[in-house]
Structure 1
Amino acid sequence: MTVDIPEILTRPLRETVAELADDTTRETLYRALRARREDVEPVVNAFEARREQSPRAAKGPLNGLPVTVKDQIAAEGWPRTFGLERPSRRADRASASIVARLVGLGAEVTGKTALPPNALDFQTFNRRRGRTSNPHDPRFTAGGSSGGGAAAVASGMSLLDIGADLAGSLRLPAAWCGVTSLTPTEGGWPADGMLPGGQRLQHFARIGPIARRVDDLAFLWDCLAGAEAGKETSGSYRIGLWTPDGPAPMEAAARTVWDGFSTRLAATGVTVEPDPMRPLFKPESYRLFGEIMGYETGALIPAPIRWLLRRDRSPARRSPGFLAHVHTGYRRDGTRHADNLARMAVARREAAARFDGVDALVLPVTGLCAFRHLDPSSDRAGVRDYAQRFDTAAGPLFYFDALTRFAVPVTLLGWPVVTLPIGRDANGIPLGVQVVGKPGRERALLDLCATIETRLPAYSGTER
C-alpha cells in the first residue's frame, strides 16, 4: 500500500514548510492529502475525524503545515473520543499546550487519529469504529495506543502526528508501521490535555510526535525550541547495544531482524559496546512501574470499578510482570506509593551512573513482530485481557507481558527515546528499535539517530 504515496506527501518537513509559503503549493499539498485520505482511509481506518480545508493564507513559521493529533489529546474546536464506543461530541475549548504551541507557530490541525478505549491497549480498535490496520498489510495490527497516528503517517495520510506514550504507546506502533517517533524526557514537554477535566498523571505519560524520518522530528524539535535549537554533537558517538546473555524474550522472527541490525550497526561508524543491560530488566523495575502507574491511574477510576478489576485474578495471573503490579497500585496505598517513588529516584540515579560512558542505549521496542488482529478474551468497557500466548526463547509470555518487556524499563527511566525502523520481518512488516538518550539531551539524541538512519543499509521508512 505504501508504494503509491505521492512524492509531495513524503518530502522532508523542512522543504515542505518552506514551499507552503506559496498559496498555490499549499493548496496543491492539501488537495493531495485529501485525495490520499479518501483513497487509503477505508482500508487503514486511522482517523476519528478529518478536515482537509487549506488555510487561506500562510501563517507563522510553519506556513499552515497540516498535522494530526491523537484523539486523547485536546485540540481547540475538536471533540475528543478517547477511543470510547460512546464518546462525547462536545468540542474542546482549549488545546493541550503542545498543540497550542504548534498552532501558534502556524500549524493546522487536519485530523484526530484513532486509539483504543482510554489508550489501554496495544491494538487500536473498538466496536464503534472498527480496527486500525497496518498500512503495510491490513491483515496485521498497527499497534497501539497511538496506532491511528502511526498508520496515518506511514500511509501518507499525515505528515506529522502528535501522539502519546505511557508503556510503549508511541514506540510500539511506530516500530510496527515503519516510522519514527520521539518520546521526550519526562517533564520535558507539557503533558496536559490528555485526560478529561484537566486531570493529569504525574509520571510516565508523555506527549510526542510521529514522523516519517528522524530529520522531521529534529525539524519539529528545532521549531519548538526556537533560538535554542541546533546540533549538540560532533558526530562521534558511543552507544550501548543490548546483547542478550541468555534466552531472550523474543520471537525467532524478531530476533532475526534484531541480529541483522546489530551486525550492520558497526558499519555506521558508531562505536558499539555490547551490553546485556541487566539492571534495566530486574523484576523491581516492572514492579515499580506497574505500582506507580496503577496508583496514579487508579485515582481516575471509581473505587468500586478498581475493586472489580482486582477481583478478577485471571489477568494478573497471565501478566505477572505488568497487570499484576498495576492492580497492586490500584489499592491506592499512599505510604507504599511514596516508598515506590523514592525507589524509582534511586533506580534512575543508578542508571545514570551505570550508563554514563555512552551517548545512548539501543534495544528492541518489543520482542514481537506485528501480528494479525487479535480479539480480546474479555472486554469490560475497554479494559481488556488477552489469552494469547507468544513463544519466545525465554519461554511463553502472554500478551501484556510480551509487549511491555522492553518498553517498561525504559519508561521507568524517564529518558528521551527515538523509535527507529531497522528492517522488515518475513511478512514484509517493519520492525523498529528504541534509541534511549540522556535526560534533557533530545537534540543530541536526534543527531545520533539521524546518523544511524542515514548510514544504516536497512529499511528507513522513506521508501515509496
Structure 2
Amino acid sequence: MSAAGEAERRWMRGEPRGPLDGVPVSVKDLVAVAGLPTRHGSRTASPEREHADAPAVARLRGAGAIPFGKTTTSEFGNKIVTDCPLTGATRNPWDTRLSPGGSSGGSAVAVALGMGPLSLATDGGGSIRIPACWSGVVGFKPTFALVPAGAATSWTALSTLGPMARNVRDAALMLDAMIHDSVGGYPLTTAASGYASAVDDGVAGLRIAWCPAPDSVQVTQDIAKCVERAADTFGALGARVIQADVAPIADYYGNGRMHSVQWSVFFAQRVRHMEGTDRTLLDPDLKALADAGAQVDTATFVDALLARHALGASMDTFFERCDLLLTPTFHCGPPPVPGLPVHLRQAPVLTAWCNQAGVPAISVPCGFAGDLPVGLQIIGRRGSDALVLRAARAYELARGEFPAPDPGLQILGDTGTAP
C-alpha cells in the first residue's frame, strides 16, 4: 500500500515512472521477490524470506510495478497441471472441477479472475502457454534469455520468464519493463523497450504458415475448428496464410524423447542432493520424473542435446520461408483435478518444441470449445518477439473483447489441498 501511495503521488505530479507505475503484479513462486519466501510449491523449500528480487522482478519494481503476492506452481514447475504437496490443487476459473493447466496455473488464474492485471511466470515446455490456453488469458514465452532469469530460475536451460496478462498490449508493456538490451547471438527485430509501441502495426503482407495438426497430434474436433477460424482471420487482415506440414516439427514429434530425456535429467539433478527425509516429501510425480532421469545414460542425454540443436537449425531455415507459424496451443481440454492423467504425462507436443528451439511463442484466446477457452499459438523465429506480439494483437483486435470467467464460480468436489 505504501508503494501504491508513492505511485499515486507520482501520477498526480505528472511524473510516473512509466505505464506500469502502480500496477499490481503477481509472481510465480519459482521467482524470488524480496521480503517473501520462494517455496517452489515444495515442502522441502526454505520458508526464509528472500533478501533480493530476481532480476526481472527488480526491473518491474524499478518501473513502478508493485509485486503483491506469489502464485501457485506444481513442485519446482515439473508438470503441466498445478497441484503440489505445499498448496494442493489450483482450479480452473471456468470450471473448478478441472485444472487451469501448469505449471504457471496460479498466475493464469490470478489474471483471469482479476486479482491483478499482470503476472510474471515461467515456461520450460509450455508452462505459460498451456494455463493461458485453458484459463482464457494471454501468455507469452519470449525468445530464450530475452528476459533475465538469474541463476536460480534458469537451471534447466529451457525455462524462460515471461508475462501473463488479460490482453496482448499489457503483455507487451510488461515485457518492455523486463528485457535485456540484447540477446547474445540473435538480432532483435525491435529496439529495447519498443514492444508495446510496435504492437499495433498489423499483419498485412506477412507470410504466415498454418499447421492445424502436426504429424501424430490428434487435435479434438471442436478445438481444431475454433483455431482454424482464428487462422482464417489473418487472411482477412491482409496476411498470406498457407497451410503447411512443418517438417522440422514433425521430425521432433517422431523423436518424442528429445524433451522428456532432458526434462527428466534436469529434475534428477535438481533433487539428487536432497536428504532422504526431504525426498519423502516430494510430489510422487516429481519423484517418478527424477527417478527416470537418473536412469538416462550420458550418450542418450547427449543425443537429446544434439537433436535440440538440429531442431533449432531446422526452424531457422523454416523461418526463412515464412514470418510466423500458427498452431493450436493444446490438442485437448484440461483434465480433472487433482492429478495428471497418463495420456498427458509425455512432453506437451505443441508447446515443448518451442523451448527446445528457443523461439518466441504466445497463446491468445480464440474462442470456446463447449464452455472452456481455446488458445491459438503464434510462433516466430528467434528474436522476432515484436512480430509475434504484433500478430497476436492484430488477431485480438479482430476477435473483440474476450469474456472473463464468473468470479463466483462454485468449487465442486475434493479440494485436493495438502494438510
Alignment-derived partner of residue 413 in structure 2? none
Q: Does the CA-based 8 Å contact 1:362-1:433 persist in structure 2?
A: yes
Alignment-derived partner of residue 97 in structure 1? 55
One-letter code of the match for 2:327? L
Q: Does the CA-based 8 Å contact 1:133-1:141 persist in structure 2?
A: yes
Alignment-derived partner of residue 364 in structure 2? 420
Alignment-derived partner of residue 246 in structure 2? 277
**Partner Cα separation in structure 1 for residue 224 and residue 310 of structure 2:** 32
The 1:328/1:103 distance shift into structure 2, 3 A limit, reads same
**Partner Cα separation in structure 1 for residue 302 and residue 335 of structure 2:** 38
Query: Counting helix residues as a fraction of each chain, which structure ranks higher?
Result: 1
Alignment-derived partner of residue 351 in structure 2? 407
1:444 aligns with 2:387: yes
One-letter code of the match for 1:299? Q
Alignment-derived partner of residue 327 in structure 2? 363
Alignment-derived partner of residue 198 in structure 2? 231
Alignment-derived partner of residue 188 in structure 2? none
**Partner Cα separation in structure 2 for residue 138 and residue 187 of structure 1:** 34
The equivalences for 1:201-220 within 5 A come to: 201-220=155-174
1:250 aligns with 2:247: no
Q: Which has the higher contact order (CA 8 A, sep 6+)?
A: 2
Q: Deviations over 1:382-418 (max 9, x none)?
A: xxxx5x36xxxxxxxx1223x7121122222110111
How much does 1:135 deviate? 1.5
**Partner Cα separation in structure 1 for residue 173 and residue 363 of structure 2:** 16
Q: Does the CA-based 8 Å contact 2:138-2:365 persist in structure 1?
A: yes
Q: Deviations over 1:260-284 (max 9, x none)?
A: 4344443333221101223203245
Q: Does the CA-based 8 Å contact 1:71-1:81 persist in structure 2?
A: yes
Q: Deviations over 1:82-123 (max 9, x none)?
A: 112464320011211111111122211101011122212222
Of residues 317, 336, 344, the one that matches 2:308 is 344
Deviates more, 1:429-438 or 1:230-239: 230-239
How much does 1:436 deviate? 0.7
Of residues 227, 233, 236, the one that matches 1:267 is 236
One-letter code of the match for 1:445? V
How much does 1:359 deviate? 1.3
How much does 1:128 deviate? 4.7
Alignment-derived partner of residue 433 in structure 1? 376
Q: 5+ unaligned residues in a row in structure 2: which ranges?
A: 182-190, 280-284, 407-419
The 1:264/1:25 distance shift into structure 2, 3 A limit, reads same
Q: Does the CA-based 8 Å contact 1:81-1:88 persist in structure 2?
A: yes
SS of the aligned residue for 2:120 comes to: strand
How much does 1:366 deviate? 1.1
SS of the aligned residue for 1:299 comes to: helix
The equivalences for 1:17-56 within 5 A come to: 22-23=8-9
1:294 aligns with 2:273: no
Q: Does the CA-based 8 Å contact 1:70-1:164 persist in structure 2?
A: yes
Alignment-derived partner of residue 17 in structure 2? 60
Q: Does the CA-based 8 Å contact 1:20-1:58 persist in structure 2?
A: no
The 1:91/1:268 distance shift into structure 2, 3 A limit, reads same
Q: 5+ unaligned residues in a row in structure 1: which ranges?
A: 1-18, 27-56, 310-314, 316-322, 377-385, 390-397
Q: Does the CA-based 8 Å contact 1:420-1:434 persist in structure 2?
A: yes
The 1:234/1:256 distance shift into structure 2, 3 A limit, reads closer
Q: Does the CA-based 8 Å contact 2:329-2:350 persist in structure 1?
A: yes
Of residues 50, 55, 66, the one that matches 1:108 is 66
**Partner Cα separation in structure 2 for residue 148 and residue 440 of structure 1:** 28
TM-score by length of 2: 0.79
Of residues 120, 144, 148, the one that matches 1:186 is 144
Deviates more, 1:218-227 or 1:161-170: 218-227
SS of the aligned residue for 2:98 comes to: strand
TM-score by length of 1: 0.72
How much does 1:80 deviate? 1.4
How much does 1:328 deviate? 6.2
How much does 1:202 deviate? 4.9
Q: Does the CA-based 8 Å contact 2:138-2:362 persist in structure 1?
A: yes
**Partner Cα separation in structure 1 for residue 97 and residue 300 of structure 2:** 44
**Partner Cα separation in structure 2 for residue 367 and residue 137 of structure 1:** 18
Alignment-derived partner of residue 177 in structure 1? 135
Sequence identity of aligned pairs in percent? 25
State the Cα RMSD in Å: 3.4
**Partner Cα separation in structure 2 for residue 203 and residue 128 of structure 1:** 25
Q: Deviations over 1:167-215 (max 9, x none)?
A: 11111100011111111111222222645xxxx4252111111000011
**Partner Cα separation in structure 2 for residue 339 and residue 248 of structure 1:** 23
1:160 aligns with 2:110: no
One-letter code of the match for 1:120? N
One-letter code of the match for 1:267? A
The 1:338/1:139 distance shift into structure 2, 3 A limit, reads closer
How much does 1:327 deviate? 6.5
The 1:265/1:460 distance shift into structure 2, 3 A limit, reads farther
How much does 1:420 deviate? 0.8
The alignment covers a number of residue pairs equal to 377
